[in-house]
Amino acid sequence: MTAAEQGSGQRRLRAGVIGLGWAGQQHVAAYAADPTVDLVALSAMEEHLLTRFGDEHDVPGRYRDWKQMIAEADLDVVSIATPTFLHAPMATAALEAGLHVLTEKPMAETAEAAESMVAAADRAGRVLDVAFNHRQRGDVTALRQVVESGVLGKIYYAKTGWLRRQGIPGMGTWFTKTASSGGGAMMDIGVHMLDMALHLMGEPEVTAASASTHAEFGPLGRGGSGFGVSQVEEGTPFEVEDLATAFLRIDGGGTLLLETSWAQWIPYDQCYVTLYGADGGASIEWGGPPSDPYQRLNVWTEVAGMPAELQPVVGEDGRHARAVANFLQKVRSEDWAAHDGSLALRRARVLDACYASARTGAEVTVEN
């Protein structure tokens, strides 16, 4: 037993990562920095990324074939950071092989695929978790504490958005094909804001969605960015939305507004969650130009009968490191049945209802 193991009393876990784009690289860094984990295997299509991250972190197993990795690398846990349509088949195979799985957001390209993942986790009796790294932000953690203290009272309205000025990822790759991504801005970055807003509101159920989607940039080849390492397939049409808006009904009569864009005529990227409660309101905001980014957390309430504005102290951002640490904690808790991906499935069902509403032009009931 090593000093790290003796100190923590934790069993060492053997970890692998599938996918080495930006997302996979965050998982690699998180496992490599954890003294109670051995990062023993990587899988990706790009030989140069296997070599680069394999060498950088002394990872012995490097596989072009992820199935071979699952079969041979004797893993306890695996992170899946591949194109979204591969999450369900990869997670299911890994769970069936007895591994615990942390997959990237969005959970899957459809709620049906996400349901099959939860069913696989339940059958296998293993942990299935989804990396919602943005809810590990310092301002989100602080605001969650404010909400839990009861200062805001009952929250009956919220609005949230992530608007990019020019940030369509992987134009002409899996990102902009419906079958492989499941959707555009709402699926990719709107899901983070939906997750954060519902997390901050205390996990109410979304009962109905009325949404619309638009594609005014992508089809013209405008709004692209350098995000994504996957190969461009020439001639791939732009099939997904680059802007989406949604009006969501919340259990108990509340509402949540969501807006999101990959590209829009705005001065700079903007992200926010605003909560409206019976006894107080609160907002987190971040964005701004790269030369002058901003981040704010404000709470408005009453102190001693007077209107008051509070600015809680914000701790460090947890990012992927904390999302991975939370996953490992669930694995070590051995209360595996409690962590089968059901919460993330609820996000997938809301997104499904939003896309159905956008297609039909009518409000759609969310299956819960």
Ligand X SMILES: NC(=O)c1ccc[n+]([C@@H]2O[C@H](COP(=O)([O-])OP(=O)(O)OC[C@H]3O[C@@H](n4cnc5c(N)ncnc54)[C@H](O)[C@@H]3O)[C@@H](O)[C@H]2O)c1
Q: Binding of ligand X at residue 53 (CB under 6 A)?
A: no
Q: Binding of ligand X at residue 243 (CB under 6 A)?
A: no
Judged by CB, which is closer to ligand X: 175, or 276? 175
Q: Which of 46, 122, 239, 285 binds ligand X (CB under 6 A)?
A: 46
Q: Binding of ligand X at residue 194 (CB under 6 A)?
A: no
Cα–Cα distance between 79 and 90 in angstroms, integer?
Answer: 10
At its nearest, how many Å lie between ligand X and the CB of residue 125?
A: 25
Judged by CB, which is closer to ligand X: 86, or 275? 86
Cα–Cα distance between 48 and 365 in angstroms, integer?
Answer: 46
At its nearest, how many Å lie between ligand X and the CB of residue 9?
A: 30
Q: Binding of ligand X at residue 230 (CB under 6 A)?
A: yes
Smallest CA-to-CA distance from 264 within 215, 303, 310 is with: 215
- Residue 278's contacts (CB-CB under 8 Å, 6 or more residues apart) are 152, 153, 154, 155, 156
Q: Which of 53, 66, 162, 262 binds ligand X (CB under 6 A)?
A: 66
Count of residues near ligand X by CB under 6 A: 27
Per CB under 6 A, contacts with ligand X among 94-123 are: 104-105
Maximal CA-CA distance, the chain: 66
Q: Which of 38, 76, 109, 188 binds ligand X (CB under 6 A)?
A: 188
Distance of CA 213 to the CA centre of its chain: 20
The stretch among 224-232, 298-306, 335-343, 346-354 that binds ligand X (CB under 6 A) is 224-232
Q: For 219, which DSSP code?
A: G
Sheet holding 37-43, edge to edge: 61-63, 37-43, 13-18, 77-80, 100-104, 128-131
Q: Based on C-alpha coordinates, what's the Rg of the chain?
A: 21
Q: Which residue is nearest to ligand X (CB)?
A: 21
Judged by CB, which is closer to ligand X: 19, or 254? 19
Cβ burial, residue 55 (10 Å; 0-12/13-18/19+)? exposed
Angle between helices 111-124 and 87-96 (to 10 degrees): 10
Judged by CB, which is closer to ligand X: 83, or 218? 83
Q: What are the start-end ranges of the H helices in the chain?
A: 3-8, 22-32, 47-56, 66-72, 87-96, 111-124, 138-149, 178-181, 185, 191-201, 319-333, 342-360
At its nearest, how many Å lie between ligand X and the CB of residue 28?
A: 11
Cα–Cα distance between 250 and 257 in angstroms, integer?
Answer: 10
Question: Which residue is associated with the tokens 């130009």?
Answer: 289
The stretch among 77-85, 260-268, 276-284, 304-312 that binds ligand X (CB under 6 A) is 77-85
Q: Binding of ligand X at residue 131 (CB under 6 A)?
A: yes
Q: Binding of ligand X at residue 228 (CB under 6 A)?
A: yes
Q: Which of 45, 97, 208, 310 binds ligand X (CB under 6 A)?
A: 45
Distance of CA 57 to the CA centre of its chain: 25
At its nearest, how many Å lie between ligand X and the CB of residue 183?
A: 11
Q: Binding of ligand X at residue 200 (CB under 6 A)?
A: no
The stretch among 15-23, 30-38, 280-288, 352-360 that binds ligand X (CB under 6 A) is 15-23
Judged by CB, which is closer to ligand X: 206, or 229? 229
Judged by CB, which is closer to ligand X: 46, or 216? 46
Q: What angle do CA 310, 316, 319 make, to 5 degrees?
A: 120
Q: Which of 83, 138, 182, 184 binds ligand X (CB under 6 A)?
A: 83
Q: Binding of ligand X at residue 43 (CB under 6 A)?
A: yes
Contact set with ligand X (CB under 6 A): 18-24, 43-46, 49, 66, 81-84, 86, 104-105, 131, 133, 170, 188, 228-230
